[in-house]
Amino acid sequence: MAADNRTFNAWACTAKDKPLTKMQLELREWSEDCVELDVTHCGICGSDVHTMDSGWGPTEYPCVVGHEIVGVVKKTGKNVTNVKVGDRAGVGAQCSSCHKCQNCQEGNENLCMNGFVGTYNGRWETNDKTFGGYADRWRGDYRFVFKVPDNMSSAIASTFFCAGVTTYAPLKRTNVNSSSVVGVMGLGGLGHYAVKWAKAMGAKVVGMSHNDKKRDVALELGCDEYLNTSDKEAFGAYQRQMTHILCTGTSQDFDWMTYLKLITVNGHFINVSMPEWNFPEISPFVFFSSQVYISGSAIGSPAEIEDMLEFAASHKVEPWIQTYKMDDVVKAIEDFRAGKPRFRIVLEN
């Protein structure tokens, strides 16, 4: 048997506040459950920046971020059943689970009771480090690798694997349909996806942001209406009008009661934002007065990712992306931090 070539090239973060550096590292040990990709595209996600900055906790440097990965299948293990050599395939924010606990057995692998294995800044069962897609190769568990639909470009497909499923899954779980009125808080990388999903599901969509700067782009994205959340008078027209609010981002002056008053009885407030600060306390009287379901959502399960890809392909849902060469990743991250993307940046090898 030929020796396993584990060396790959990547743009790695070596410490907080340090620019990414190109270096060689080692892929995980090969197993018959593995798929290896030649990476062609990788989206930039807010999670990448939080991790580079140790914003959510300590990062184990060197760290190769990037969990919106698409590439061409180069090699498969004997146990791989879902992709073959030459296929285009993608990987999201999760790269493994135990496959044995109750949650995994019930199709909720994204909530594995024995620990979520992140596509970067984590550890495989072999104790090898997990590395993401700011690189030329990726290797990992086939059960978290997904075939890209034939009618979808690789650049477009990449951002579905984190931003896409993060917003699709909770809208699908809470039965958004033609009778729904969906408010989308924050019209950025996640929020613009939420607008597109909700519209494709048949809902009326209200774009929400803290000033009027995004009014025109909200309508261009497909929003039916726009709410400037700094305009307290404007809130009056939406009292108990929304069946769902999907929160993709908010400021630290967020007030529960202000927003829950917008939601219909038995409606849903769904949070998919993960800021580095805590939401404010909530009075128990808010629950009694609103009868609203408050929930969060962790990316999506493999089954939900498959469902999302099929839905996107059939409904022609496409994000707004800007592409940069992988070797220009330092500039891409600078632009990302400056809030320049409309609305997702994709790196290309």
Same domain as 105, residue 127: yes
Same domain as 16, residue 142: yes
- Please report, for the domain that includes residue 323, its CATH number: 3.90.180.10
Supply the range of the domain harboring residue 280: 164-296
Spatial distance between the Cα atoms of 33 and 92, rounded to a whole number of angstroms: 17
Same domain as 176, residue 276: yes
β-partners of residue 245 are: 183, 269
Same domain as 218, residue 131: no
Same domain as 47, residue 148: yes
Show which of 296, 322, 338 is a domain's final residue. 296
Same domain as 168, residue 136: no
Tell me if 132 sits within 8 A of 120, measured CB to CB: yes
pTM for this model (two decimals): 0.96
Same domain as 202, residue 152: no
User: What's the pLDDT score for residue 319?
Assistant: 96
The gap from C-alpha 176 to its chain's centroid, in whole angstroms, comes to: 19
144: DSSP letter: G
122 in a domain, yes or no? yes
Spatial distance between the Cα atoms of 146 and 85, rounded to a whole number of angstroms: 13
User: What's the pLDDT score for residue 226?
Assistant: 97
How many structural domains compose the chain? 2
Q: Which amino acid is present at 205?
A: V
- Please report, for the domain that includes residue 211, its CATH number: 3.40.50.720
Q: What is the pLDDT of residues 300-330, one digit of tens each?
A: 999 999 999 999 999 999 999 999 999 999 9
- For 158-239, strand residue ranges (E) read 181-185, 204-209, 225-228
Closest CA to 132 of 228, 215, 10: 10
2 in a domain, yes or no? no
Same domain as 182, residue 78: no
Averaged pLDDT, 335-340: 95
Same domain as 101, residue 53: yes
The mean of the pLDDT values for the chain is 95
What percent of the chain clears pLDDT 90, i.e. is strictly above it? 89
